[in-house]
Amino acid sequence: MRIKGYVFTLFFVLGVIQDSVDGRPLLLSLSRPHPDSAADFARWLVSQNSWGVLNTIASDLGGAPFGNVVSYSDGLPNKGSGIPYFYLTTLDPTASNALKDQRSSFTISEYPIGTCGKTDPENPTCAKITLTGKLKLLDGNSDEVEYARTALFSKHPEMKDWPKGHNFQIFKLEIEDIFMINWFGGPKPLTVKEYLHIEMNKVAFVV
């Protein structure tokens, strides 16, 4: 166990220089935690990605679940809180759906990060996570909305120039359930408390 612990620490502390998959410059980022460390792995996945599919209930489509591609941020780079924040306009169905029915989930794949190699995106060793909960509009004057705005604009610089007339507002997913597959053997047992408890900013990373 001690050796395993050291190996894990080594994995977790060592940063790697990853070649971003979207053609952007090389980024410094945390290394991929061991799949057995469910909370660390989940927080890594949420921290490293920048977009996913946000799902709401579409009352105008017979109550169908409606997925929408969105950008998000859970905090400053490598200092995420684990809570995904979104910058949405009610001109888009997702925000207007959420204002009628907050039931929601947010789904992220490891595949576009580039760390799955040639593994198929549906293969359980290429990780995926679905955070289920309530999609809530943040109070425009709260401390949290300031934190979220900084988190979003630092990860998605072009957002600050998006049209004012579209009335973009900040939403958060209040997480109630976590479904994550990152290896064989089914979803990893992981409570919301375990997930939120990890402090990303105490983890060393390459600078």
Q: Decide: is 139 part of the binding site for a second copy (CB under 8 A).
A: no
Pick from 90, 96, 132, 154: which binds a second copy (CB under 8 A)? 132
Stretch that binds a second copy, among 37-45, 77-85, 130-138, 196-204 (CB under 8 A): 130-138
Please work out, in degrees rounded to the nearest 5, the angle formed at the alpha carbon of residue 97 by the alpha carbons of 159 and 175. Answer: 75
**In the complex with a second copy, which residue's Cβ is closer, 12 or 168?**
168
Helix (H/G/I), strand (E/B), else coil: 202: helix
Q: Decide: is 164 part of the binding site for a second copy (CB under 8 A).
A: no
**In the complex with a second copy, which residue's Cβ is closer, 30 or 95?**
95
Q: Decide: is 140 part of the binding site for a second copy (CB under 8 A).
A: no
- Measure the CA–CA gap between 52 and 15, rounded to whole angstroms: 24
Q: Decide: is 87 part of the binding site for a second copy (CB under 8 A).
A: yes
Q: Decide: is 37 part of the binding site for a second copy (CB under 8 A).
A: no
Element (H, E) at 83: strand 79-88
Distances (CA, A) of 168 to 58, 90, 95, 146: 20, 8, 10, 14
Three-class SS of 119-179: CCCCCCCCCEEEEEEEEEECCCCCHHHHHHHHHHHHHCHHHHHCCHHHCCEEEEEEEEEEE
Q: Decide: is 143 part of the binding site for a second copy (CB under 8 A).
A: no
Q: Are the C-beta atoms of 4 and 194 separated by less than 8 Å?
A: no
CA Rg value for the chain: 17
Pick from 39, 70, 83, 200: which binds a second copy (CB under 8 A)? 70
**In the complex with a second copy, which residue's Cβ is closer, 68 or 150?**
68
Q: Are the C-beta atoms of 196 and 80 separated by less than 8 Å?
A: no
- Measure the CA–CA gap between 158 and 181, rounded to whole angstroms: 32
Pick from 8, 15, 18, 66: which binds a second copy (CB under 8 A)? 66
Stretch that binds a second copy, among 15-23, 26-34, 35-43, 196-204 (CB under 8 A): 15-23
Stretch that binds a second copy, among 31-39, 62-70, 138-146, 196-204 (CB under 8 A): 62-70
Per CB under 8 A, residues contacting a second copy are: 21-24, 50-53, 55-58, 61-71, 87, 91, 93, 103-109, 111-112, 114, 116-123, 128, 130, 132-133, 156, 158-159, 176-177, 179, 186
